[in-house]
Amino acid sequence: MRWVFLVLLVANIGFGVLLFLREKAVNPDAQIIGLQMNADQVRIVPPRPVPAPAPEPAPAPVASRAVCIEWGGFGAGELARAQRALDRLTFGERARRVEVRVTAGYWVFIPPLRSQAAMERKVNELRERGINEYFPVVEPGRWRYAISLGVFRSEQGATRYLAQVRQKGVRSATIGEREQRVTQAAFLISDPTESESVILAELKDQFPGSELRPVECPPSSKSGSQ
């Protein structure tokens, strides 16, 4: 039984050594406290506020175009006279001639005659009375052998021109509705002053079939007159 005694002796010695080492080992919790530096000065820092998004830049203002006055509705005969009237004013390069596409809702005309010969006699009569702006209608249809004396955007313009035609002795002329797209000559006056607008209104009265209206100046309106 001697070997049993030896085994128990070795086991007791090992257990004693283990207890001795455990008492000498460093306490981990005590080590953490020793590693702290200036623990009394520790402060809890609140979270930083999220910065507000930068405001979007304001859109650049859109430059508005200058206002022009369009004076139009001329036939071939009145166009030259209107050009001379404008040349006597002080618009200079601010006035130029343009071609405009308009929707004409009214026309001044002589109703269809019986034949082409009768239409040609009426044309000669118009010339004798000093009316050089006309358009004989020869296409087949409802208006064949009628004579167009002018087309207008408004009934008011057509009425004024009809009065002028009748003053020259053309009693058969009348007004009718006839919507169509036509090209007319007009004058474009850029940046008119108040006094110049008054002058244009007075000038328009000398051309009963013409019309004045404000329009936006196109980019090329500052070019020289044609």
Q: What is the pLDDT of residue 224?
A: 42
* Cβ atoms within 10 Å, residue 199: 14
- Domain-located, residue 152: yes
**What is 15-59 written as a DSSP string?**
HHHHHHHHHHSPPHHHHHHHH-SSGGG--PPPPPPPPPPPPPPPP
Which structural domain, as residue segments, surrounds residue 114? 67-217
- Domain-located, residue 121: yes
Q: What is the pLDDT of residue 162?
A: 92
Distances in whole angstroms, Cα of residue 97 to Cα of each of 11, 116, 226: 125, 35, 6
- Domain-located, residue 24: no
Tell me if residue 141 falls in helix, strand or coil. coil
- Domain-located, residue 29: no
Question: Which residue in the block uniquely carries the two structure tokens 């004024």?
Answer: 160
Average pLDDT by stretches of 10, the chain with 226 residues:
51 54 55 53 59 64 70 76 88 87 86 96 94 90 92 84 91 89 85 89 84 82 44
Q: What is the pLDDT of residue 169?
A: 93
- Domain-located, residue 4: no
Rounded Cα gap, residues 59 and 57, in angstroms:
6
- Domain-located, residue 98: yes
- Domain-located, residue 142: yes
- Domain-located, residue 159: yes
Total domains present in the chain: 1
Q: What is the pLDDT of residue 70?
A: 92
The pTM of the full predicted model, rounded to 2 decimals, is: 0.51
